[in-house]
Chain A
Amino acid sequence: MAREPSDQELMAGLQQRDHQALALLYDRYARSVYSLALHILRDQAAAEDVTQEVFLQLWRQPERYVQERGPLGPWLLRVTRNRAIDLLRRSSRERRPAHPDARAADLHIPDPSPGPDEHAWSATLATRVQAALGELSDAQRQVIELAYFRGLTQREMADVLGLPLGTVKTRVRTALRRLAEILMRDGVWTDVG
């Protein structure tokens, strides 16, 4: 039985303008990309646009992905997050302070993956990341949520949360470093470092 081609092989295919390679990469990653864009933008059409842009950019400039910096999936999600946040900030530039509800904690944390999904590359990773997030305090998760998914700066977070800027800075710093420590302890970090 033929094995599934690796990401590396598919990326080499993109360099050779192999459409089938793009189709396979889409099948592997589109769900994660679309889900993240939708979670940030909360708009299906905008999430579709971001998903399309991410894959077309991969098709046009496959050399942008540098394997030494880590696996393809998380890299695609980083590109997705940056594009979505850019779009979010641009569209809300005039209508800030449409500040998000500071109490919202819609990181998908305690709910374990909704069942084995053979096609979701991210299911295992997501479970481990969610477990790691679960080890953070509510306050630490909150600043990650506001910064990562809502694109707020530390100063904006301080305004929204009614906290001194220094407190927010400390929370952001400790939250991300703690998350890194937990993932390193659990062996996820070495996969990406």
Chain B
Amino acid sequence: MDRRRLTHELASEELPAYALGALDADESAGLAEHLAECPLCQADLHRFDALLGLLGTAVPQESPPPGLRERVLARAASEAHVAPIADRPALRLLPRWARAALAAAAALVLILAGTVALLLYNQWQIRQELDALRAEQREMASILAQSAWWAPVTAEAGQGQPVVGRLYLQEGQAGVLVIDGLAPLAPGQVYQVWLIRPDNTRVSAGVFTVDASQRATLVIHAPGTWSAYQGMGITVEPGPAGSPGPTGPRVAGCSLADWQPGGL
């Protein structure tokens, strides 16, 4: 989607509505793009998030039914066999492909770090990229750790390649797509992710490519909230920015009706 990049001033104006989840799909996606690269807006967003927590106190107070306490504690006790989180290496929480994807991302950071040393004249630009990549990695790990649902991603019938993947969904609007088995693309092409509304209109959720491993892991921000979509599809589109609407063959997708509770 050829979305106009938001200036910092415009993004800053829309942050309160973004924090409330009150933006339209396109506006929300544009702001998410800006947020990914603007530490000022990220800090501002954290403050609005805190403010919205406070706002939750301003309702009439009611006591929960007495039986609820026992139910919650009994459910927790029944899960007591789970090892303490602190005793588990964090990455063991992730499935094999997610570990591999994160390892690949980490390796990429190292490669970029080496590039900084080699290309001193371009140091500033590369630093920006590194920071963005690290931020993305942190965000990805955070979303994976917080994901409440996942949906299986499968190849479109008739495609030669066996595509398997999962879309992990955090409550709200963030998710991580982990996909394996996508064919490398011709130069100038990209894979584009589409979120499908109940009325079958498509909203672009970003573009990506795959490396020789045919694997990709990417963060997706659903404009609005996940509940506004019934499915996700991936098509091949002209790069680097993709298309305003799907034009190429659909290679994989998932139905969000197949959501499974439980994260990693």
Contacts and interface: CB of A to CB of B under 8 A. Distances in A.
Contacts, number: 203
B120 interface: no
Contacts of B171: 79, 82-83, 86
B111 interface: no
B28 to A, nearest CB: 9
12 contacts: A19-B73, A64-B146, A69-B50, A78-B56, A81-B56, A126-B58, A147-B20, A147-B21, A153-B22, A155-B24, A180-B47, A192-B53
Contact of A56 (B52, B55, B63, B72): B72
B85 A63 contact: yes
B96 interface: no
Interface residues of B, number: 55
Interface residues of A, number: 83
Interface stretch (B123-131, B157-165, B213-221, B222-230): B222-230
Given A61-B85, A179-B51, A192-B50, 18 more contacts: A16-B86, A19-B77, A32-B61, A35-B59, A39-B60, A52-B72, A59-B76, A60-B82, A69-B46, A73-B53, A78-B52, A86-B227, A109-B58, A129-B57, A148-B55, A180-B48, A189-B47, A192-B47
Given A31-B61, A64-B146, A173 B17 contact: yes
Given A22-B73, A193-B47, A172 B17 contact: yes
Nearest to A59: B76
A183 interface: yes
A179 B58 CA distance: 13
Classify the secondary structure of A's interface with B: helix
Given A15-B84, A19-B73, A23-B73, A34 B50 contact: no
A134 to B, nearest CB: 10
A46 interface: no
A186 to B, nearest CB: 11
Given A78-B56, A83-B171, A154 B22 contact: yes
B64 A51 contact: yes
Nearest to B53: A74
Given A56-B75, A61-B145, A86-B227, A16 B62 contact: no
B58 A133 contact: yes
B248 interface: no
A188 interface: yes
A40 B61 CA distance: 13
B56 A183 contact: no
A152 B39 CA distance: 28
A75 B71 CA distance: 23
Given A176-B51, A183-B51, A52 B75 contact: yes
Interface string A50-94: 011001110111111000011001111111111101100110010
A160 interface: no
B58 to A, nearest CB: 5
A154 B26 CA distance: 13
A77 B57 CA distance: 8
Given A31-B63, A52-B72, A69-B46, A129 B17 contact: no
Contacts of A51: 64, 68, 72
Nearest to A153: B22
B245 interface: no
B118 interface: no
A147 B20 CA distance: 7
A16 B86 CA distance: 8
B65 A82 contact: no
